[in-house]
Structure 1
């Protein structure tokens, strides 16, 4: 959109320069060419600025996306660690429960034997 506006403005300036220049004098004929060259240079600068702004915006967006992906990857890694810890705790609890049950059975078995 800005390129179109810049082109329209440049064409208006060019039209105005040609409309005001006298056709008979030779130095006046070079003035519009100089003005047009300046306009072309200004349009090129504006295009370069716009391109640079677009590239910078895309780079910022890519950086933000990469940062978000790193955050997600970190969260997934944290989740895996938490899951492993939970499984480890569950295994330890089961082992402890089995050990307590076995010791309770072992204590109960010798006490039952002399009662016969």
Structure 2
């Protein structure tokens, strides 16, 4: 009889039950791992309380105010720098005009002296 059952191993019924329950346990554990990994990947955002929202809005308003103030200061500084540059350019143009006028005056005087000779 052993020869007839040599390809098939004899298992006691309790072993068959244990093997089946182990397979279901392993399958359940693997399914649980997949479920936890999928759950961990979902984005969760906690519900914000009205106080937290008010604080966030207040902080945003303060930040916006600071940015606006900085922009205004930058514009003011730029305007001052532009005015200063325009004033300097006007002053230099006035000096150049004086030099040109002085050179013309000298040229007229030289011509007058040359005409006298």
Shorter chain as normaliser: what TM range? 0.5 to 0.7
Q: Pick from 52, 65, 71: which aligns with 2:75?
A: 52
Q: Which runs of 5+ in 1 are unaligned?
A: 1-24, 95-116
How far, CA to CA, are the matches of 2:49 and 2:110 in structure 1?
Answer: 92
Q: Which runs of 5+ in 2 are unaligned?
A: 1-47
The TM-score, its normalising length taken from structure 2, stands at 0.57
Q: Which runs of 4+ in 1 moved over 6 A?
A: none
What is the Cα deviation at residue 49 of structure 1?
0.4
Q: Pick from 9, 13, 36: which aligns with 2:59?
A: 36
The equivalences for 1:1-116 within 5 A come to 26-94=49-117
How far, CA to CA, are the matches of 1:59 and 1:85 in structure 2?
Answer: 38
More helix by share: 1
How far, CA to CA, are the matches of 1:28 and 1:85 in structure 2?
Answer: 85
How far, CA to CA, are the matches of 1:90 and 1:26 in structure 2?
Answer: 95
How far, CA to CA, are the matches of 1:55 and 1:26 in structure 2?
Answer: 43
Select the structure of larger CA radius of gyration.
2
> What is the root-mean-square deviation of aligned Cα atoms in Å?
1.2
After superposition, the C-alpha distances for 1:41-88 in whole angstroms (9 at most, x for unaligned) are 111110010000001001101111110111011000001100001111
Figure out how many residues of one structure are paired with residues of the other and give that number. 70
